[in-house]
Amino acid sequence: MEPKDEEIMKQQREIEKEVCDSTPLVSEKISLSCLRTEYMGDDVFSAKIQDLLKKYKFIRRTRPDGNCFFRAFAYSYLEYLITNYTAYQEFRKLAESSKDKLVELGFPRFTLEDFHETFMEVIKRVDPDCTGAEGSEKLQNELHQIFNEQGYSDYVVVYLRLITSGKLQEEAEFYQNFIEGSFTIEEFRHQEVEPMYKESDHIHIIALCTAIGAGVRVEYLDRGEGSTVKAHDFPEGSEPKVYLIYRPGHYDILYPN
């Protein structure tokens, strides 16, 4: 590679990093109509945003650091769980037992424990049973604060990546079919799933949703044909608890009407 190209790439990375660092890890709820201004003059996107506005009112942005799917999913799913005690308890049980399962699958216990502990701490801090009279608003604030504290927020992302990786290994034969190129499932897990900042694809979403048993609907705002936004439910046929919007390269959280 020419040194000149390298210089340009370096600058590009610096700009990306600046944009990234100036975005909060998870933003406040913002009116979805803000997308209109963002894509003003873009006919394809404008029509699709109009369509999206019929179904959704708010968006919550996540930092575009390659972890956005995992961070958005975790935030949105916990937001659902704090209003649904039965589902919360079930999830907490699943999370508690997930460590032993991952150890059985071959993850090193010593380093895994560090992430699991923090993951459980986050879940316990938003226990709907411990809030008393102030109720869900207090939990909501707690959740928002936790997810904007890098230490907690990133550890939640790491742990979800490990759960995803574990699922891929557990059902390697099935997931192998989704992998493009010459990757084995083992290589894919170590290269594309476990490391931070690696972007998520369908396969990550399917594996995580299946492992956790949570339905996710993704609305695709892209240059595909038509003036409506296409939605996809993961796993197929499930009832969505988490709503995300995908724009090429990035996931944010959506709030249905």
Partner 1 sequence: MAGSALRRLMAEYKQLTLDPPEGIVAGPISEDNFFEWEALIAGPEGTCFEGGVFPARLVFPPDYPLSPPKMKFICDMFHPNIFADGRVCISILHAPGDDPMGYELSAERWSPVQSVEKILLSVVSMLAEPNDESGANVDAAIMWRERREEFNQIARRLVRKTLGLPT
Contact 183, 168 (CB under 8 A): no
Does the active-site annotation cover 21? no
* Residue 235 tokens, joined: 């796993």
Candidates 55, 92, 101, 198; binder of partner 1 (CB under 8 A) is: 198
In order, the DSSP letters of the chain are --HHHHHHHHHHHHHHHHHHHHS-SEEEEEETTHHHHHTTT-HHHHHHHHHHHHHEEEEEEE--SS-HHHHHHHHHHHHHHTT-HHHHHHHHHHHHHHHHHHHHTT--HHHHHHHHHHHHHHHHHT-GGG-GGGTHHHHHHHHHHHHTSHHHHHHHHHHHHHHHHHHHHHTHHHHHTT--TT--HHHHIIIIISSTTPPP-HHHHHHHHHHHT-EEEEEE-SS-SSSS-EEEEESTTPPEEEEEEEETTEEEEEEE-
Does the active-site annotation cover 65? yes
Measured from the CB atom, the residue of 83 and 111 that comes closer to partner 1 is 111
Binding range to partner 1, per CB under 8 A, among 31-39, 179-187, 231-239, 240-248:
179-187
Candidates 8, 176, 196, 256; binder of partner 1 (CB under 8 A) is: 196
Measured from the CB atom, the residue of 162 and 216 that comes closer to partner 1 is 162
CB 112 to partner 1: min, Å: 6
Measured from the CB atom, the residue of 160 and 242 that comes closer to partner 1 is 160
Measured from the CB atom, the residue of 159 and 234 that comes closer to partner 1 is 159
- Give the per-residue contact string, 13-32, with partner 1 (x = CB under 8 A; - = no): --------------------
CB 61 to partner 1: min, Å: 21
The pairing of strands 26-31 and 215-220 is unpaired
CB 45 to partner 1: min, Å: 29
Our finding on whether 85 is near partner 1 (CB under 8 A) is no
Our finding on whether 171 is near partner 1 (CB under 8 A) is no
Candidates 45, 155, 234, 243; binder of partner 1 (CB under 8 A) is: 155
Does the active-site annotation cover 68? yes
Binding footprint of partner 1 on the chain (CB under 8 A): 107-108, 110-112, 114-115, 118, 121-122, 149-155, 158, 162, 182-184, 187, 190-192, 194-198
